[in-house]
């Protein structure tokens, strides 16, 4: 059924963005703005490709991706949280760094033949029972692990933020770090930890790109998806459910491309490539969630 | 440098050989110097664009997209029929105008909706990329329809090449003049002072009676225009036509260049030359020592990160101190 | 006499050139309420912040329940049983009351919102703190309610000493009574209480003992029953409390002009949260005169200056009324500058100077200045530097190097730069200066006052807002008081320092 496959494609294409967005969401809730998500995603994508290629196992690739993502995020954390470097500049630097290193390493290690890389893909999971639900069954529960991870994390993160002591502490640090500090919370430690988890998730998002949505790696393949994830966080008003909605929207928009091609309409393919970015801009225009952002977002916290 | 050597090792090449090839390749011969200068030109113009923006507190990460639309507009202007003499001028103006307009979109988002320009300018980069891709695949495609590229520019649209037999074009000089002009604008004009004030402290600029919103818009537009000009110069000076990969990331490299140059004209010129040298040397390095040229990007990124970490206080004062929370005055109550 | 909970001996604290605490002794007994009185800048908050672990003293001893202690962080103080309710609340504005309390309590693990709300409500009623529905977001609470939440937060852990910093500044009279009843109960249960305030009457009615601080030193200490308002006020305001602020042989004011040089006409404004920061303020300052508005910080001075300078649109909502300079209505900063207004802002670091720019550039940070210096949009740095150097020297800026970035100067010198820019101008119609001599030594202060008088004599309308009664006295102008956004005055010519001080503290004075 066309709708079925459309939704499935949407979920699969949106998963990388969802994972990265959830990670960035956690980070921004503690008040840090990490525009280096793009670079982290790319790093994760490459690490996944490398790991999977070297061992023939997609699972190993996923682990590599997560680890790389966390490591890159910790580098960013060191620069910004510990040393107090400007978050925007450090993020931009991270992007450049990732672009250069992955490109260089790719050419050196994997791209020798010049042909497109073929990587093992993540197997689709077949969740028994749930898979047979009408309409959404196959589309949702026939997906691979990372998609399901994203879908499970969304309510989990939402719950943690709203109903646990940990969530309270994270939110306090993002909205009023001074008040949090006055209660004895180690602001920097929390922010670093959030960055590490965020990096992990963004790295996994990259893996979802390399090992599932496609099964190859090309230079710069994230193509701005990290930035779309950033916009999705804003669009979703810093809530996990909103992020899910936004990521789905873009996944479906990307999936449209294939639907239209299948229908052989005479629309230039570049329009579809542009669509996610234009959509993001439109969304930013309309939502401009300044009022709901964590109050201390982007400000370096300095201990007295 | 250390990073480069490390990566070279991984690539199975001899680091010493690689670095020697790098240096020779960048300045070892006349043709190499020419190549370096030609590569430096777009870097310098976009670097100047970013410098102007950052000094005004505008985080223009969209120089890449502005470059592309500038190249696009330049190609359109350069392939349309019209009077021949002065065509090159029309081409340049078209490029600058397109870049300026493209940047103003992001300005609108920031001033009208408070959306951080980092995100909007980056998104616009991708839109511009696909616009160019569409153009050379469709309406602007060359008459023969063979490759995704435009027709060559009409005579009179290309920039003058003063030295016979050399590919050096007037645009190189234009770039240097532009970089110096930006520096002069910032340090010697009323507008420049207002921009720098707004770039550091919007409340102080407002109190001084400066038209802050208007000045910010001007900053966006001027920065975009410079980047768009860079695109036009590249088309009219070097390539002669438009094709998809006309920019290997000039707009992004420009950020590193502007910061490495300390947001000063002289520094930006030096940094642009340095990166251009790295780049032309890198191709040579790739040819003779087999090391990947994409390495350059990694070096740039690492450099930028290092700057960001080491010069924290300097950077803060230079670039965006208003992002800091103002330290509460402690006058002892 | 009961056990002392807290004892301080010889505490000193210095911030740069300012000696905030100069050898202070203090003692609070368990179960008693001790009021710490003093004007702005006297050192009261600083002293308590030392006790609460926010600052480390340069010298002195501190004993808690007899045991010597020295904190390195507020957490240590808190664990030892010292709780502080700050003047500026440390509540997370976007979280609910219950969540803020849970945060303070250090809740771990999962909680259900309803159960938490019920717990917090129970806790609140147990302590007789009316905080309303705990599910409300803190941002939406009234200031009084927010304060009670802060107190509740402070009380969730065992507390031996509770410090409140200017708690009644934002409360209505009824709320003040409720607070006092609560504090008395707490004291009766054995907690030591210190209340930092500048309000005499409240200190007298609530406290068992009162200590008065002035300029970092203890100038008086005793049982509340042995003190009265007059003696306390005298201690607080210092020398010559009964002397008139304006010598009677002051030249008579020019007849009220048809068009006063500086006019504030029924200005009312609210801040982002909707509370009124300026309440129907009307002020007329004729050309050639000096008017002084005295007031404790936080009563609307910043907002008034912003309104006069034309920048209020960015921060205030719902402004009504009109501001005019020399007859021209001012609606924007450009208007103000063009009308010939000089502004010395209260927050020099944010509004007054641009740290990254050079001194000579900072001197050009005014629209009219800039227009006058530049020809055809161009500035000549060399020429400007020369002019700047002269001005810097004239205003005693050290070092007087025009090429230095403003960030390289000390606070006091930065203030001098602002003054050099604003007061060094030609053709001024009006001057608005907020605490112009903050951070300056006596000689510089006198020089600034002299300059202000010169400007007035040259025809400008000079308005100075000050928290310092010495300055109010020295300027010898028409005196007003700003209290909670309301302008009181002009005070009669013979108004004494004491009377002004009382009004600043909100005490009604029979005229």
Q: Are residues C193 and C268 in the same domain?
A: no
**CB B326 to CB C216 under 8 A?**
no
Contacts of B7 in chain A (CB under 8 A): 101, 104-105, 108
Residues 232-251 of C with CB under 8 A from B: none
B109 interface with A at CB cutoff 8 Å: yes
Q: Are residues C121 and C251 in the same domain?
A: no
- Under 8 Å CB pairs connecting chains B and C tally to 117
B45: pLDDT strictly greater than 90: yes
Q: Which of C393, C426, C459 is the last residue of a domain?
A: C426
CATH code at position A153: 1.10.3470
- Nearest by CB to residue A93, choosing from B138, B292, B301, is B301
- Nearest by CB to residue A175, choosing from C86, C93, C111, is C93
Has residue C346 been placed in a domain? no
C367 interface with B at CB cutoff 8 Å: yes
Query: Any idea where the domains of chain B sit in the sequence?
Result: 2-319
pLDDT digits (tens, 9 = 90+) for A182-201: 777 889 999 999 999 999 99
B222: pLDDT strictly greater than 70: yes
Q: Are residues C93 and C159 in the same domain?
A: yes
Has residue A300 been placed in a domain? no
C75 interface with A at CB cutoff 8 Å: yes
Lowest mean pLDDT among A119-133, B47-61, B289-303: B289-303
Q: Which of C426, C451, C480 is the last residue of a domain?
A: C426
B181 interface with C at CB cutoff 8 Å: no
Domain count, chain A: 1
Q: Are residues C204 and C336 in the same domain?
A: no
Q: pTM here?
A: 0.76
- Nearest by CB to residue A86, choosing from B12, B315, B325, is B315
What value of ipTM does the predicted structure carry? 0.79
pLDDT digits (tens, 9 = 90+) for C384-410: 888 888 888 888 887 788 888 887 787
* Mean pLDDT confidence for B177-185: 94
Q: Which of C237, C253, C285 is the last residue of a domain?
A: C237
Q: Are residues C134 and C250 in the same domain?
A: no
Contacts of A99 in chain B (CB under 8 A): 249, 252, 297-298, 301
- Nearest by CB to residue A288, choosing from B59, B114, B302, is B114
Has residue C469 been placed in a domain? yes
Q: What is the 3 state secondary structure string of chain A?
A: CHHHHHHHHHHHHHHHHHHHHHHHHHHHHCCCCCCCHHHHHHHHHHHHHHHHHHHCCHHHHHHHHHHHHHHHHHHHHHHHHHCCCCHHHHHHHHHHHHHHHHHHHHHHHHCCCCCCCCCCCCCECCCCCHHHCCCHHHHHHCCEHHHHHHHHHHHHHHHHHHHEHHHHHHHHHHHCHHHHHHCCCCHHHHHHHHHHHHHHHHHHHHHHHHHHHCCCCCCCCCCCHHHHHHHHHHHCCCCHHHHHHHHHHHHHHHHHHHHHHHCCCCCCHHHHHHHHHHHHHHHHHHHCHHHHCCCCCCCCCCCC
Q: Domain range spanning residue A137?
A: 2-292
**CB C78 to CB A184 under 8 A?**
yes
B164 interface with C at CB cutoff 8 Å: no
**CB C90 to CB A163 under 8 A?**
no
**CB B208 to CB C310 under 8 A?**
no
Q: Are residues C374 and C443 in the same domain?
A: no
Domain count, chain C: 3
Q: Are residues C305 and C233 in the same domain?
A: no
| Chain A neighbours, 3+ Cβ pairs < 8 A | B, C
Q: Are residues C317 and C393 in the same domain?
A: no
| pLDDT by residue, tens only, chain C of 511 residues | 467 888 888 888 887 767 788 888 888 888 889 999 877 667 787 888 888 887 888 888 888 888 888 888 877 888 888 888 887 778 888 888 988 988 888 778 888 888 888 888 888 887 777 778 888 888 888 777 788 888 888 888 888 899 998 887 666 666 778 788 888 988 888 889 999 987 777 888 888 999 988 888 888 888 888 887 777 777 776 655 454 444 443 444 444 455 678 888 888 888 766 677 888 888 888 888 899 998 876 778 888 888 888 887 766 776 788 888 888 888 888 888 888 888 888 877 778 888 778 888 888 888 777 777 777 778 888 888 888 888 888 888 877 888 888 877 877 788 888 888 888 877 788 899 988 887 777 777 888 888 888 888 888 889 999 877 778 878 878 888 888 788 887 888 777 777 777 777 666 655 4
CA distance C196 to C166: 5
B208 interface with C at CB cutoff 8 Å: yes
Q: Domain range spanning residue C247?
A: 242-340+428-511
B133 interface with A at CB cutoff 8 Å: yes
B329 interface with C at CB cutoff 8 Å: yes
Share of chain B above pLDDT 70, in %: 75
**CB B196 to CB C349 under 8 A?**
no
Question: For B2-319, which CATH class?
Answer: mainly alpha
pLDDT digits (tens, 9 = 90+) for B229-283: 999 999 988 888 888 888 888 888 888 788 878 888 998 999 898 888 877 776 6
Residue in chain B lying closest to A287 (CA): B113
**CB B12 to CB A97 under 8 A?**
no
- Nearest by CB to residue A168, choosing from C73, C91, C99, is C99
Has residue C12 been placed in a domain? yes
Q: Are residues C36 and C121 in the same domain?
A: yes
Q: Are residues C278 and C385 in the same domain?
A: no
Contacts of A222 in chain B (CB under 8 A): none
Close Cβ partners of A16 (under 8 Å, ≥ 6 residues apart) = A41, A205, A206, A208, A209, A213, A225
- Nearest by CB to residue C109, choosing from A165, A175, A183, is A165
**CB A176 to CB C99 under 8 A?**
no
Q: Are residues C386 and C494 in the same domain?
A: no
CA distance B320 to C305: 26
CATH code at position C287: 3.40.50.300
């Amino acid at each position: 059924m066309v709708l079925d496959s459309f939704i499935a494609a949407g979920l699969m294409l949106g998963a990388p963005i969802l994972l990265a967005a959830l990670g960035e969401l956690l980070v921004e809730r503690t008040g840090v703005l990490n525009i280096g998500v793009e670079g982290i995603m790319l790093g994760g994508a490459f690490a996944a490709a490398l790991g999977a290629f070297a061992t023939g196992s997609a699972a190993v690739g996923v682990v590599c991706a997560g680890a790389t993502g966390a490591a890159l995020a910790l580098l960013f954390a060191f620069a910004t949280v510990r040393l107090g470097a400007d978050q925007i500049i450090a993020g931009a630097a991270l992007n450049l760094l990732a672009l250069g290193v992955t490109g260089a390493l790719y050419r050196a290690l994997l791209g020798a033949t010049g042909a497109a890389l073929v990587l093992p893909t993540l197997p689709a999971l077949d969740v028994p029972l749930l898979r047979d639900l009408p309409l959404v069954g196959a589309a949702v529960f026939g997906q691979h692990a990372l998609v399901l991870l994203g879908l499970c994390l969304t309510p989990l993160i939402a719950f943690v933020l709203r109903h646990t002591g940990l969530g309270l502490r994270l939110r306090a640090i993002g909205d009023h770090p001074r008040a949090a500090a006055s209660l004895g919370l180690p602001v920097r430690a929390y922010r670093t930890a959030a960055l590490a988890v965020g990096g992990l998730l963004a790295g996994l998002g990259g893996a979802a790109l390399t090992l599932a949505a496609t099964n190859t790696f090309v230079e710069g393949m994230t193509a701005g998806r990290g930035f779309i994830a950033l916009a999705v966080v804003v669009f979703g008003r810093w809530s996990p459910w909103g992020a899910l909605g936004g990521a789905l929207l873009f996944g479906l928009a990307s999936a449209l491309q294939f639907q239209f091609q299948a229908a052989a309409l005479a629309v230039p393919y570049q329009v579809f490539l542009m669509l996610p970015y234009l959509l993001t801009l439109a969304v930013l225009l309309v939502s401009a969630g300044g009022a709901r952002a964590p109050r201390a977002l982007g400000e370096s916290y300095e201990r007295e | 440098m250390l990073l480069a050597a490390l990566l070279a090792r991984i690539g199975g090449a001899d680091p010493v050989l690689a670095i020697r090839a790098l240096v020779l390749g960048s300045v070892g011969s006349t043709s190499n110097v020419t190549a370096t200068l030609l590569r430096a030109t777009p870097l310098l113009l976009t670097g100047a664009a970013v410098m102007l923006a950052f000094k005004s507190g505008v985080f223009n990460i969209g120089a890449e997209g502005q470059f592309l639309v500038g190249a696009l507009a330049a190609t359109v202007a350069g392939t349309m029929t019209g009077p021949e003499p002065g065509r090159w001028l029309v081409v340049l103006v078209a490029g600058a105008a397109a870049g300026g307009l493209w940047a103003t979109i992001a300005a609108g988002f920031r001033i009208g909706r408070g959306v951080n320009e980092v995100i909007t300018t980056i998104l616009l980069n991708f839109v511009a990329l696909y616009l160019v891709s569409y153009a050379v695949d469709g309406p602007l495609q060359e008459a023969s329809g063979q490759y995704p590229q435009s027709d060559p520019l009409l005579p009179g649209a290309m920039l003058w090449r003063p030295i016979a037999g050399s590919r050096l074009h007037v645009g190189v000089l234009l770039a240097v003049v532009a970089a110096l002009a930006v520096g002069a604008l910032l340090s010697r004009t009323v507008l420049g002072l207002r921009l720098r004030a707004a770039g550091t402290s919007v409340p102080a600029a407002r109190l001084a009676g400066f038209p802050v919103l208007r000045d910010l818009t001007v900053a966006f537009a001027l920065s975009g225009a410079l980047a768009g000009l860079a695109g036009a110069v590249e088309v009219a000076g070097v390539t002669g036509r438009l094709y998809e990969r006309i920019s290997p990331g000039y707009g992004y490299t420009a950020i590193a260049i502007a910061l490495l140059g300390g947001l000063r004209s002289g520094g930006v010129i030096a940094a642009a030359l340095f990166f251009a040298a790295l780049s032309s040397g890198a191709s040579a390095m790739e040819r003779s020592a087999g090391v990947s040229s994409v390495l350059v990007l990694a070096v740039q990124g690492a450099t930028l990160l290092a700057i960001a970490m080491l010069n924290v206080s300097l950077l803060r004062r230079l670039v965006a101190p208003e992002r800091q929370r103002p330290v509460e005055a402690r006058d002892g109550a | 006499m009961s056990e002392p909970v807290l004892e301080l001996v010889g505490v000193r604290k210095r911030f740069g050139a300012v000696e905030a605490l100069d050898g202070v002794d203090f003692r609070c007994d368990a179960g008693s309420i001790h009021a710490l009185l003093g004007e702005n800048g006297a050192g009261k908050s600083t002293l308590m912040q030392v006790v609460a672990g926010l600052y480390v003293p340069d010298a002195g001893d501190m004993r808690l329940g007899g045991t010597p202690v020295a904190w390195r962080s507020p957490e240590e103080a808190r664990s030892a049983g010292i709780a502080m309710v700050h003047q500026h609340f440390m509540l997370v504005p976007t979280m609910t009351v219950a969540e803020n309390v849970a945060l303070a309590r250090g809740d771990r693990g999962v909680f259900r919102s309803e159960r938490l709300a019920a717990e917090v409500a129970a806790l609140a009623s147990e302590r007789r703190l009316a905080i309303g529905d705990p599910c409300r977001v803190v941002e939406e609470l009234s200031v009084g309610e927010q304060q009670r939440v802060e107190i509740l937060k402070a009380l969730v852990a065992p507390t031996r000493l509770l410090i409140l910093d200017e708690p009644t500044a934002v409360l209505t009279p009824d709320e003040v009574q409720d607070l006092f009843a609560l504090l008395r109960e707490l004291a009766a249960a054995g907690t030591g209480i210190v209340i930092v305030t500048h309000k005499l009457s409240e200190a007298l009615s609530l406290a068992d003992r009162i200590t008065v601080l002035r300029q970092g030193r203890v100038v008086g200490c005793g049982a509340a029953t042995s003190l009265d308002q007059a003696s306390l006020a005298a201690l607080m305001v210092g020398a010559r409390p009964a002397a008139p602020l304006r010598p009677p042989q002051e030249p008579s004011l020019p007849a009220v002009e048809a068009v006063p040089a500086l006019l504030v006409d029924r200005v009312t404004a609210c801040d982002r949260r909707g509370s009124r920061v300026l309440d129907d303020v009307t002020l007329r300052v004729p050309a050639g005169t000096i008017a002084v508005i005295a007031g404790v910080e936080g009563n609307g001075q910043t907002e008034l200056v912003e309104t006069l300078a034309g920048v209020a649109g960015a921060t205030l909502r719902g402004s009504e009324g009109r501001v005019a300079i020399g007859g021209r209505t001012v609606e924007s900063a450009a208007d103000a500058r063009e009308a010939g207004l000089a502004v010395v802002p209260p927050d020099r670091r944010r509004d007054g100077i641009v740290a990254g720019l050079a001194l000579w550039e900072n001197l050009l940070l005014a629209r009219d200045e800039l227009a006058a210096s530049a020809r055809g949009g161009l500035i000549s740095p060399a020429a400007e530097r020369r002019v700047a150097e002269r001005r810097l020297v004239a205003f005693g800026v050290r070092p007087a190097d025009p090429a230095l970035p403003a960030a390289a100067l000390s606070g006091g010198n930065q203030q001098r730069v602002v003054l050099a820019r604003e007061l060094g101008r030609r053709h001024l119609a009006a001057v608005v200066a907020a605490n112009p001599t903050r951070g300056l030594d006596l000689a510089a202060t006198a020089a600034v006052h002299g300059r202000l008088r010169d400007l007035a004599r040259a025809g400008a309308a000079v308005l100075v807002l000050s928290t310092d009664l010495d300055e109010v006295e020295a300027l010898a102008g028409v005196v007003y008081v700003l209290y909670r956004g309301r302008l009181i005055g002009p005070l009669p010519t013979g108004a004494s320092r004491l009377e002004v001080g009382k009004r600043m503290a909100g005490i009604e004075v029979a005229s």
